[in-house]
Amino acid sequence: MSDRPQAGLSGNLDLVFSSQPGRGTYLASQSFSAPMHLSKTYWDGDTLLVNVVNQTAGIFGGDAIQTHIKVESGARVLLSTPSAARFHPSQGRESRLEQTFEICAGGSLDVFPEISIPQRDSRSFQKTTIHLEAGGELIYLETLAPGRVASGESFAFSRYAWSTDILVGDRVVHRERASITPDSPSIAGLRAFYPVSYYAGIILISPEVENWKSDFLHATSSLARDLSVKIGVSKLNAHGFSIRLLAENSLAQREGIRRVRNLVYQLLKRPLPNPRRNC
């Protein structure tokens, strides 16, 4: 266990991304404090690749981290993490992550973190609020592993909860609330498909969606045919989709996410950015 003080760490990450003709997307403003750290950004000619690093062994009970990301008009950003988010045993104390994203008209943000792994006896809550102006673009990924499966853990955390709100203008287009404990009925629902279930949710909002018609729904239905994965897709009451993925193991989850992202970027007619180019 960690020898941190009982209060935990209070960290922040504040980033603003802008764009200029001839320069592309760049980091216009930055501020962060431990345990958060920002790796050097990398411009691949289309998208600015940004890796956010937690400098400690993971997230501990009592930790509180606030993130605010703004993507201005014309900027295109891939925000990723180089390693899994590990939630450690918390001795009854809850860790809290609050993140806010703002995407201006003509801006694009792809949030592509590594997997979240809540360990035995951990307690965590993540609150996410995303504001898009009309004409903004979002690809947002959330993931959940059942725990340290290789160590014999499966849904042994005390509580894993999240709250997500996505607004286009003043209109809520996606709202999700979840609080999972080992005895939650939702755990039984997950295990009805796979005894050890890995979850992923992808929210896609783009003005380009209206040009896809039914192509996206037809294409996603075939992505999981040779994988131990279940995929469901629903259309949002905006220019977007909600994609849910349930996998038998971490490899199937990763491959399912990769295929969905490949399809999205093919339909957007843009190259799929590689988040490891700037590691």
Tens of pLDDT, residue by residue over 94-138, are 999 999 999 999 999 999 999 999 999 999 999 999 999 999 999
CB 148, CB 123: distance < 8 Å: no
Considering only CA atoms, which of 173, 160, 163, 248 is closest in space to residue 203?
Answer: 173
Report pLDDT for 196.
92
| Top-confidence residue, 34 or 42 | 42
pTM for the model: 0.93
Token look-up 């045993």 returns 89
Asked if pLDDT for residue 248 goes beyond 80, the answer is yes
Cα–Cα distance between 121 and 101 in angstroms, integer? 30
Report pLDDT for 220.
86
Dihedral in degrees, nearest 10, Cα atoms 165, 18, 9, 199: 40
Report pLDDT for 188.
79
Say if 89 falls within a structural domain.
Answer: yes
Report pLDDT for 165.
98
Considering only CA atoms, which of 36, 113, 49, 37 is closest in space to residue 75?
Answer: 49
Say if 169 falls within a structural domain.
Answer: yes
Report pLDDT for 279.
52
Q: Are strands 36-38 and 48-54 parallel, antiparallel or unpaired?
A: antiparallel
Q: Is 79 helix (H, G, I), strand (E, B) or coil?
A: strand
Say if 150 falls within a structural domain.
Answer: yes
Say if 151 falls within a structural domain.
Answer: yes
Say if 5 falls within a structural domain.
Answer: no
| Top-confidence residue, 264 or 191 | 264
Considering only CA atoms, which of 1, 92, 131, 248 is closest in space to residue 256?
Answer: 248
Say if 2 falls within a structural domain.
Answer: no
Tokens representing 69 are 């990301």
Cα–Cα distance between 167 and 254 in angstroms, integer? 28
Asked if pLDDT for residue 150 goes beyond 70, the answer is yes
What's the burial of 189, exposed, middle or buried (CB within 10 Å: 0-12/13-18/19+)?
Answer: exposed
Share of the chain above pLDDT 90, in %: 74
pLDDT in tens, 212-233: 867 788 888 788 888 889 999 9
pLDDT band at 3 (very low <50, low <70, confident <90, very high): very low
Cα–Cα distance between 164 and 236 in angstroms, integer? 14
Per DSSP, 182 falls in state T
Considering only CA atoms, which of 154, 76, 89, 148 is closest in space to residue 115?
Answer: 148
Asked if pLDDT for residue 61 goes beyond 60, the answer is yes
* Cβ partners under 8 Å of residue 258, min gap 6: none
Q: Give the count of domains, the chain.
A: 1
Asked if pLDDT for residue 276 goes beyond 80, the answer is no
pLDDT in tens, 67-101: 999 999 999 999 999 999 999 998 889 999 999 99
Share of the chain above pLDDT 70, in %: 96
Cα–Cα distance between 249 and 260 in angstroms, integer? 17
Domain of residue 222, residue span: 12-278
